[in-house]
Amino acid sequence: MQTTYYQPGYVKSKPYPERLLAKKNEKMDPLEFCTKWCQLKPGEWGFKVEAVRLLHTVTGASIRTVERWGERFESCPSYVPRLLMKEDILREMEKQIKRNQDL
């Protein structure tokens, strides 16, 4: 049996899918989600419109409702941050699957 030695401070991490699934009960701020998945970044012209459309698509809430959540979406319902984390996990897994298929 071969012994594996790790350097001090080294923490063996879980495989990628397990790390993603471990986050399923965490929450993700709507602005953080939009910053990650919108093509435009905060401060760029059109970001707010794109972010509202993205949140509308993911949550199923009307565009008007999403617009009422505030400038930084701070007034969103309590279920939204968990829903966004689950959507983020799905998108990350989809990205990983596509990357593996390209190999």
Query: Quick check: 8 pLDDT over 90?
Result: no
DSSP state of 39: S
Mean pLDDT computed over 45-52: 97
Query: pTM for the complete prediction?
Result: 0.77
DSSP state of 55: H
59-98: per-residue pLDDT in tens? 999 999 999 999 999 999 999 999 999 999 999 989 988 8
Of 13, 31, 21, give the one whose Cα is nearest residue 92: 21
49-69: per-residue pLDDT in tens? 999 999 999 999 999 999 999
Sketch the domain layout of the chain as residue ranges. Answer: 16-101
